[in-house]
Structures are given as C-alpha cells and as structure tokens.
Amino acid sequence: MLICPICKYEYVKGITICPDCGERIVDDSSLVHPKDLEEKDWLVIYTSVHEYELQMLKDNLMSAGIDSIILSHRDRNFPVPGDLSFISLLVKKEQSEEAAKFINEVLKS
Ligand SMILES: [Zn+2]
C-alpha cells in the first residue's frame, strides 16, 4: 500500500509525490504498525517527517548490527510522545546507547 507519510492518504501505484504535502510517497510495507510492537522493548531514538531520512539511518544502523524499526503514527492511539505527524525510528533498549552514538556520528558527517 502506498501512503503519504505526512497526511497518511493512500495513493495508487504510479503516484510518487503527495499533491497536498509535496512529500515522497512511501510503501507502507516498510513501516511497522504499533500492533506489531512490544512497546516496552523499544525506544524512540529519532523522529522525522521524512521517511527516507529514517530509512537512511535504519540502513546505517543495520550495517552496524543494530536492529531498528520505523514506526508510523497512523494509529493515533499509540502513546508515542511528540508531534503525531512525525514518524519515529525505534531501537531495542539494550542497543539504544550504541545506536545513539552511532546516529550522532552519522548525522555529523
Ligand atoms: Zn500528504
């Protein structure tokens, strides 16, 4: 399913930019839905309105052997603090310090 990460509208195949937001439309299958999460095991390490930015960090983390997931805030009942138009990158608690260091390095360069 193709959705705009900001307004969450669904689009048909072939549309690449949301006409309302100007945001790149993403394949929803790359987003994790809250029901798939054990909330207590994961911490938000980074948020952005840009899914590609999170995807880039996720790829970087993966190359460092750190698991991460991208969380869509489409389900507004899920208690993630902050602006709900944002999408979040979550990492496992036990890897969160390592991941934070790594992300700081990535963002610096
Ligand atoms: Zn949109």
Global pTM?
Answer: 0.57
22-42 residue pLDDT tens: 988 888 766 666 666 666 788
Ligand 1 centroid distance, CA of 11 (Å): 10
Report the pLDDT value the prediction gives residue 84, as an integer from 0 to 100. Answer: 53
- 70 CA distance to ligand 1 centroid (A)? 18
Q: Which CATH class is domain 30-108?
A: alpha beta
| Residue pLDDT, tens place only, 39-92 | 678 888 998 888 889 999 999 999 999 999 888 765 555 555 554 567 889 999
Mean pLDDT in residue range 95-104: 93
Give the Å distance between the CA of 21 and the centre of ligand 1: 4
C-alpha distances in angstroms, 15 versus 28, 41, 65, 90? 14, 36, 34, 28
- Judge contact between 51 and 24, C-beta under 8 A: yes
Mean pLDDT taken over the chain = 81
Distance (Å) from CA 16 to ligand 1 centroid: 11
